[in-house]
Amino acid sequence: MTDGCSRGVVPGYLLAKLAQSERFPKAAAAARQTLVAGRPPFRARIDLSIDESGALVAELTDAPNRTVSDAANTDRLPGLIVREEDDPPVDDETGNEAFDGLGATFDLLLAAFRRNSLNDAGAPLDATVHYGVDYDNAFWDGTRMVFGDGDGEVFAGFTRSVSVIGHELGHGVIQHTANLEYRNQPGALNESIADVLGTLTEQFLNGQTAEEATWLIGEGIFTDAVQGQALRSMIAPGTAYDDDELGKDPQPAHMRDFVSTTEDSGGVHINSGIPNRAFALAARALGGHAWERAGLAWYRALTGELGTTAKFADFAAATITAAATVDADTERAVRAAWAEVGVIDA
């Protein structure tokens, strides 16, 4: 398996389990195929308004530059362009979902963190849909989002989840900032921060408070045949699914249950549950919108002096320092959250 495939939103261990399924024969074949396949300009918007004198006022603000392409069920990227920024919706709902998800992520980054796209310099947001045949994953390949259609038995499609789109584009933000190594604890932080950006994108789009949010990553991508809600639960790691065929969600919620493994690039999709829960706990303790305080602390830590090999304790310290620049309550909530998951002492 290529390193690229290991960064897909669906963990390799879950695909490997699915590949052995007798209950889902089509999905098993799709999972085997997915595992073998791996994964290989500034724009502005003008807002018009009328001032008190009745004059027309034009305000220039950052805006996304989106392009969606169709791989037509091949593994050739980028595929044929089917929708660009100024185009109306197309007949293909998958392409429209991808386009809207790219925009939702851009809006979250700009409104919450004043970040102009993934690189903070207006980078285009590109996506390819209908990648491969029954391809059971979605991934960031370093330059674009790529979506498989799923197998139809276990995975229903990946563009329907805004948290998945925000997660994968989150890897692009990480790539342009701390660029955390994708293995062991730095890799688990990479996955966790991508989950944070994924859930914040979904919450921002829906106008949800931390209490109203589901804290699920990938809700809606499983078919009804699967006993599970999503790929991961940030507030309750280890509870996202418990299926007779797929097994139980293996994520730990506390450092005492940290999983030492050589699989999954050292458990990047598994142990990310620990920092995930820390973020969700901090956000819920603070209340209101998660991107305004806890999210700001996480973003400032990510874009500060964080090293590429940062471990959980390093990131905890960075977020606590960043939280202090927000306000005292945020610092206390962030510190308490990291203590509750066992990363720092209470």
Residues contacting residue 27 through CB under 8 Å, at least 6 positions apart: 18, 21, 136, 151, 152, 153, 154, 155
Place of tokens 């074949």: 29
Task: Give the integer Cα–Cα distance in Å for 321 and 289.
Answer: 20
**DSSP at 89:** P
Closest to 290 in 3D by CA, of 337, 257, 226, 241: 337
* Joined tokens for residue 140: 């960031």
**DSSP at 222:** B
Torsion of CA 115, 118, 119, 121, to 10 degrees: -60
Q: 61: buried, middle or exposed (CB in 10 Å: 19+, 13-18, 0-12)? A: exposed
Place of tokens 């595992």: 35
Task: Give the integer Cα–Cα distance in Å for 282 and 292.
Answer: 12
8 SS3 class: coil
Torsion of CA 320, 304, 289, 100, to 10 degrees: -150
* Joined tokens for residue 98: 């991808």
Cβ neighbours around 308 below 10 Å, total: 11
Give me the active site residues, please.
168, 269
Is residue 275 a contact partner of residue 310, using CB atoms and an 8 Å limit?
no
Is residue 210 a contact partner of residue 283, using CB atoms and an 8 Å limit?
yes
* Joined tokens for residue 262: 């050589």
66 SS3 class: strand
